[in-house]
Chain A
Amino acid sequence: MVTYLDEWLEDRKASGFSAVPHYFGDGDYISLFLSNGRCYAKRIDDLLTVYYADSTGDFVGCKIKGVCDLLKNLRENFKVTIDDGGIRLGWLFLSAAVRSTAPSKEKYYWLGEHVGNVMMAPGALPLAA
């Protein structure tokens, strides 16, 4: 029997919030939310979207797209590998920054400074990228 989306969602509610990055294979992106509050998105370029809080306009997270390509760039051009699947987001910002132009390049540097130390959990990324 087919379960439709609306049926699956019935009576379900998110059980909590954790400010950790997640990789989604469909869409090949990582999202990081630092806050549980509502926010809106602003696309910076083809690899980056940034989230701002509805209530304050402050930065509350980001979405890094094309993760497989960014990892490939790190591996082939910088010899940066991720043997256990774990990586600091700063490496991905660097990988995106080297192929971007101003003003989005500055946004990658800003993100590197503010959330570059955030770690992806081991095993969360596609190692074969």
Chain B
Amino acid sequence: MAMSADYLPVRVDREVLFDEEGGATKRPSLYVRQGVLEALELHGPEWKFADASLITASLNEPIFVFNGLNRPSIQEGYCYVARPSHRISLDGQQEPVPHDRVFLVFVEKEFGLVAFDWEWRVAANGSGRPVDWEIDFPGGVKWSRT
């Protein structure tokens, strides 16, 4: 599939799954569709648009990547799980992330990896894995920081 100009590349130092280096001289391998961001910018919710700023760090430094999204229409997909320390509150200030939350970014493999959604979930027992991860991601852990 050809890459559309409608996709914004994500700045990566090294893509953890495929061990690809990023940087200005390399073709980026991670993207977000601009239309998704524009819809959120216009209609909200405001936290979700603000949290798009967490995507770059989350894709660069996940704590887990789960294999397969277990949903229709996605042939090859991954879930990057990160634990940012802060996020932006609705009044524009930085606020700490509750200790029992993890940030999930869902990506589909197309011309590169395209992030199409992101959300917060409750973490399982401080492990950094989201609760019910064994059910939600039957493909298991594809990559882990440790």
Interface residues in chain A, defined as those with a beta carbon under 8 Å from any beta carbon in chain B: 2-6, 8-9, 12-18, 20, 22, 24, 26-29, 31, 33, 35-43, 46-47, 49, 51, 54, 63, 65-69
Q: Which B residues between 1 and 45 are near A, CB-CB below 8 angstroms?
A: 8-11, 28, 32-34, 36-37, 39-45
Interface size class of B (residues with CB under 8 A): 35 or more
Report yes or no: A9 in contact with B98, Cβ–Cβ below 8 A.
no
- CA of A1 to CA of B128, assembled, Å: 37
Report yes or no: B73 in contact with A43, Cβ–Cβ below 8 A.
no
Interface residues in chain B, defined as those with a beta carbon under 8 Å from any beta carbon in chain A: 8-11, 28, 32-34, 36-37, 39-50, 52-53, 55-56, 70-74, 90, 92, 98, 101, 104, 106, 108, 114, 116-117, 119-122, 131-132, 135-136
Beta-carbon nearest neighbor of B27 in chain A? A2
Report yes or no: A24 in contact with B117, Cβ–Cβ below 8 A.
yes
Report yes or no: A22 in contact with B56, Cβ–Cβ below 8 A.
no
**If A4-B9, A26-B36 touch, does A65 touch B72 (CB 8 Å cutoff)?**
yes
CB A75 to nearest CB in B, in angstroms, measures: 16
Report yes or no: A4 in contact with B10, Cβ–Cβ below 8 A.
yes
Tell me which residues across on chain B come within 8 A of A18, comparing CB atoms: 43-44
Report yes or no: A47 in contact with B72, Cβ–Cβ below 8 A.
yes
Report yes or no: A16 in contact with B44, Cβ–Cβ below 8 A.
yes
- CA of A14 to CA of B49, assembled, Å: 6
Which of A4, A13, A33, A37 lies in contact with B8, CB distance below 8 A?
A4
